[in-house]
Amino acid sequence: MGNTTAVSSATATIAAMITPALLILGSASLVASALARMARVVDRARVLTAFIDEGKCSSGGLTRDQLRLWLDRHAARARYAERSVLLLYSAVVVFVATCLSIALDRIAGDSLNWLPISLAILGTLLLLGGGAWMVVESRLSGEQIQDEIRRALAKLEKDPHELRPS
């Protein structure tokens, strides 16, 4: 019977450690998404800065104010994505610590059961914060693309022959 108890205790410990591992997987997926969004922001900002560096602002129909607004938005989006990545990576670290604290709690005879619970809650809050920053970044991204679409449509209305084949 002592052997059965040891096996079921080990199985229970491993089973308990799987839950944070699933949260790690979810957090890592969100990190990948946030990093992809950050890369998109960087690419778009670089295009705009190259546009400015090459002196193509007026030839592209963009005003200095429009470029400044768009670059400001991209800077804000980059900050939001960066905050999100920080929180999401922190969540991964905390969830790994949660897995280890479950084992530590079992070794200590279940005297530290507050530790894995506290770490799991902290990790979940970090996950929530990272997700919230991505929502803010996504909304700003939506505003940006709507502005770009309005500008392009206005340009089409102004010169409908611009798209004629050469």
Specify if 162 maps to a domain.
Answer: no
Say if CB 156 and CB 163 are below 8 A apart.
yes
So what's the pLDDT on residue 86? Answer: 96
What's the CA dihedral at 29, 35, 41, 43 to 10 degrees? Answer: -120
Specify if 166 maps to a domain.
Answer: no
Condensed to tens digits (0 to 9), the pLDDT of residues 34-59 reads 999 999 999 988 988 887 888 776 65
Specify if 56 maps to a domain.
Answer: yes
So what's the pLDDT on residue 151? Answer: 85
Query: Tokens for 60?
Result: 């592209």
Specify if 73 maps to a domain.
Answer: yes
Specify if 44 maps to a domain.
Answer: yes
Specify if 140 maps to a domain.
Answer: yes
- The domain total for the chain is 1
144: CB partners within 8 A, 6+ apart: 70, 73, 74, 77
Task: State pTM to two decimals.
Answer: 0.78
Query: Tokens for 96?
Result: 């790994």
Specify if 88 maps to a domain.
Answer: yes
